[in-house]
Amino acid sequence: GDNGESSLYTGARAAKDGRVFEALGDADELNSCVGAAREFLEGEDAPLGALRGRLAEVQSRLLDVGSAVATPLGEGSEARQARARFDAAEVEALEKWIDDMDAGLPPLAQFILPGGGRGAALLHLARSVCRRAERRVVPLVRDGEVEAAVGRYLNRLSDFLFVAARFASHAGGHPEVAYKKKQPEAAAA
C-alpha cells in the first residue's frame, strides 16, 4: 500500500485514488457516521433502542456494500463473487423501517434544518455522507462493476437516515427548526 495501490477482495491491485477506493472510503466514512449517531442517541429504551438496533444493522450492511464494491462483477472466483453478493431484500427492509418510523411523525410541510439533538444531527450528517457514497457508486453500477442493488440500497439509506433523524428528534423532544428564506429588505424611500 505504500506505493499508492491496494488490493481488492479479488486480489487485484488498484490505485488508492481510483473510483473503487473512493466509493469504499465514502462507505467506510458513512459507517463511522452512523456509528457515531448510534452512540449519541439518548437512552436505550424504546423507541430509540429499536432505532439503535436498526442502525447497528445498517452498519453491518454497509460492510456488505464495501464487499460488493471491492469485488467488481465478473472478477475473481465464483466463491468470492457469491460471498460479496449484495442481497436486494435489504432495500425492502429499509423501506419498511422508513414506513414504520414515518407513521409516527407529523407530516413534513417545509424544509427543516439539520439538527434536533446530537443523535439526530449526526444522522443528518450521515445522510449527507450517504448521498456522496451513492454518487461514488452510481458510475460503478452504470458500468456493470457493482450490482444495482447496492446503488438502490444507498439511495434508500439516505431516505432512511433522514426519517431516522426526524424520528430521533421527536423521540428526544427536540423541535424541528424550519428553513426560513431571507426576505429582501424593503427599498429605502
pLDDT, tens digit (0-9, with 9 covering 90-100), for 146-189: 999 999 999 999 999 999 999 999 999 999 999 999 988 876 65
CA 121 to chain centroid, in Å, comes to 14
Of the two residues 31 and 6, the one the predictor is more confident about is: 31
Kindly report the pTM of this predicted structure: 0.91
CA angle 170, 58, 53 (to 5 degrees): 55
Residues 6+ apart with CB under 8 A from 20: 8, 14, 69, 70, 72, 140, 145
pLDDT, tens digit (0-9, with 9 covering 90-100), for 76-114: 788 888 888 999 999 999 999 999 999 999 999 999 999
